Amino acid sequence: MWVSESSEAQPEPRTDLQAFAFLLRRLNGELNHVTHEFARRQGLHPTDAQALAAILDGEGPGHEPLTPGGLSRRLNLTSGAVTAVVDRLERVGHIRRSRDVADRRVVHLHFAERALPVAAEFFRPLAQRTGNVCSRFDEDELRTVARFLGALVDELTDMRTDGGESPPPGRPPV
C-alpha cells in the first residue's frame, strides 16, 4: 500500500495524520530494532545505546556537548540512572568525560574517538540504505523531507520539555 520495489504503478501515499502516524510508528520501530541490535552486539543495554546517540548528537554542528543533566532530561532518566549509564559507557570506552574550561564543575560527555569506527562499521548499512532512499528523490523533495523531519523533531522536543502541552492547530503557543 505504501512503497514497493515493484514496477507496477503504486497509488499516491496518503498524507493524512493517521497515515503519518502509521509510518512514523513503523520508522520508529525499525530504528529501535537497529539500535537494540547495536546494543546487543556491544554488550550494552538499549538505554546505553540511546545515550550514545544523544551524546553523539550533542557534538553535532551548532550544539554544545551534552552534560549528564542534559542526558537525564533527554532520556527522562534519574540522575542515578544517568550516572550508571555514563559509568558503563566510559568503562567500555565508548565515551569520555571532560571538564568545562570556564566552569570546572560542569562535565561534558563526548563520544570517544576509538568508538567511532565501531559505530561507523555497524551503522554503515543503515547509511547505505538511507542513501538508496535519498537517491529516489530530487533535491527539492529532500529539502521538504528535511524541513518536515526537523519541524517534527522540534515539536516533539517542545512537547517533551513543556509538559506535553500543545497549542490548538493553527494557534501559536502562548
- Cα–Cα–Cα angle for 119, 120, 125, nearest 5°? 110
Considering 11-15, 135-139, 160-164, 165-169, the range whose residues carry the highest mean pLDDT is 135-139
Distance CA 66, CA 82 (A): 12
Q: Rounded CA gap, 70 and 82, in Å? A: 10
* Contact in structure between 45 and 89 (CB atoms under 8 Å): no
Answer yes or no: is 22 within a domain. Answer: no
99-130 confidence digits (pLDDT tens) = 988 888 999 999 998 888 988 999 999 999 99
Dihedrals phi, psi of 120, to nearest 5 degrees: -60, -45
**Mean pLDDT (the chain, rounded):** 87
Higher pLDDT: 55 or 168? It is 55
Domain encompassing residue 74? 34-161
Whether the pLDDT of residue 68 is over 80: the answer is yes
Q: Above 70 in pLDDT, residue 141?
A: yes
Does residue 126 form part of some domain?
Answer: yes
Q: How many domains does the chain have?
A: 1
| CATH number of the domain bearing residue 142 | 1.10.10.10
Nearest Cα to 52, choosing from 106, 107, 126, 110?
Answer: 110
In a domain, 20, yes or no: no
